[in-house]
Every structure is written in C-alpha cells, then in structure tokens.
Amino acid sequence: MEYRFLGASGLQVTDITYGNWLTHGSQVENETAIACVHAALDAGITSFDTADVYANTAAETVLGEALKGQRRESLEIFTKVFGQIGPKGPNDQGLSRKHIMEGINGSLTRLQTDYVDLCQAHRYDHSVPLEETMQAFADVVRQGKALYIGVSEWTADQLRAGQELAAELGFRLVSNQPEYNMIHRVIETEVCPASRELGIGQVVWSPIAQGVLTGKYKPGEPLPEGSRATDEKGGNRMVDTWLSKEGLLEAVQNLTPIADQMDLTMAQLAIAWVLQNKNVSSAIVGASRPEQITSNAKASGVEIPEELMVRIDEVLNGHIVTDASQTAPRSPESRRRWPADA
C-alpha cells in the first residue's frame, strides 16, 4: 500500500482509504463489517473514513469496535460532522459551535479513541456564520480532539473563504471530500485548481460510481442479487442515479478490454484512474464482503499509461460530467433539506 501526503500537511495517508458509508450499522451485519475492516488492515490500509450521520452514529460504533486493539498511532481515522443525528432535534445537525463540539465528543466516544486524525465539515452550512464554524474547529484542534480539519463537497469559493479564516485562527484546512470518478469529474475545473493553490488534498468518494464502473450492471439484464442496486435500506437510491443514464451501462462495458490489457479488474481500473489525479490524496473504498476490499486494495500504486487514459475518455465520451456548478447544491441552503440518511 502506498502513502500520500494529505494536501500540504505532514500527515501521510494510504492512497486507498476504507470507508463505511452505507454498509456498517446498516447494510451488513456487524460481524461481516468487522471482517471487512480487518481485511483492509491485512491489505495494508491504515486510513479509515466514517461520519456521525452514517446509520445515525451506528457506523462509528462499529468502526470503533473493529479497530479495538490496533496500535492507535499506526492508524489515520477520519470522521465528519454536519448531518442530522440522534433524536434529530434542531441543534442535532449543522456546523454551529454547539453541534461541532458535541459532535466531536460523541464521535470520540463511539470510535473509542482520544482523538481523530481528521475531522471534516460534511457539508457547507449556509445557516451558520463561517467565522463561528472555523472558530469551533480551531478549538477542536487546540483541545487535541482532532489533529487536522477538512471539509466535504465545498465549492472553490467556499474553500478559499474557509482557508482564509482558518489561517487567521492558526490552523489549516488540509482536505476536501468530494465525489469523483471516471464519469463524475465536476471537481476538475474549479475545486482542484483552488485546492492546489490552498494546499488542500482530495479524499474522494464513490471512485467506482456505486459499483456501476465494475461492469456488474449489464444492459438489459436483471440486477445482480445482493448488489447495492437491490438494497432497499438506501443503497439502491444512490445507484439508481447512474442506472437511469441512457447508454451509460453500454459504454462501461467497453472499458473491459482496457482493464484486461492492464490485468486489472474493472473496479481496480476505476480506483487507479482517480489516483492518477495528483490532487487526490486518497480514494475511499467500501466493502460488504472482505474479498472486495482485498481485491480493490490492489489498485494502490497502479500507473495507467497516458494512451489508455485517453482511450477511457473516448469510451465514456458523452457520459462525462464536468459542470462545476453541480458542487454547490450538495450543501443545502436550509439544513431542513439535509436528508437524515445521507
């Protein structure tokens, strides 16, 4: 497993991070979830991503149990705050000082650790002054509860404003966690250039587009049993976005010869593709079975030749999304519009 620096910080993370969104505390039994974490550790992955909102805090609890007994200094644990949790009252979400301070304390308890390596603003909060949010994060760092601060799905302008305030308060934003894959490339035109300027690295989610880029969803064929597309606990809603795009599944099948040429699975090719972007510090990969993370971890360090990168663009031509304006709607103007199970 290879390591990369997280933005311009001194923290090194594995280029593949294990994430437990949509799985732990929800889609898979705890025993299987713990086996997946242990498979990630066996593969050399030391970076783990979660969030308080995942399965309404249950995912953090499962991850804490799974990592129990591991040398804490040898791990990089990331969590996030913003989403509505607990009884879901008016102060149980957002980036107010109250929710950030209470949120980090709850996360540390569930994760069974004294600190997290990275605490991230899960979205931008239009309902709270940015100064209040940044001051709270500064205090979280000073109290030693988080070593670094990052964000998720912030626009280029939001990153610039946040970094300016953070610098005034004596810390830095080191990471952004956006969706990024062969199809969804909206960060390339504005977010990545701004991030390079600001010293922010990307920790990207959905590198295999919720499984669509594995090629397992074949045009005109029934959905595979046990796949995310058949999961009625929430996973199917995420995959439907991709499955409904006309012609996409046919185009994805045409990536198979490229993967075969490199002796990679389709999933490994997709993960390796996002890692070709030098602003990407790590790609988040989940799993519902241990063998999935064992296989996908092999994408670490893979270099895709330029001619094959061009070929991938040709195959997916007409399906690639680059509109930078798609980032802004990810942060609701009103917290009341934040989905409780996001």
- Active centre residues (catalytic): 54
Task: Answer yes or no: are the C-beta atoms of 273 and 248 closer than 8 Å.
Answer: no
Question: Whole-angstrom Cα distance, residue 125 to residue 86?
Answer: 19
Which stretches of the chain are assigned E, i.e. beta strand?
3-5, 12-14, 16-19, 47-49, 76-81, 116-121, 146-151, 173-176, 201-204, 280-285
Q: Among 44, 105, 52, which residue's Cα sits nearest to residue 76?
A: 44
Task: Answer yes or no: are the C-beta atoms of 247 and 177 closer than 8 Å.
Answer: no
Number of Cβ within 10 Å of residue 243's Cβ equals 16
Question: Whole-angstrom Cα distance, residue 165 to residue 173?
Answer: 10
For 269, residues 6+ apart whose C-beta sits below 8 A from its C-beta are 213, 255, 258, 259, 262, 299, 304
Name the phi and psi angles at 295, rounded to 5.
-70, -50
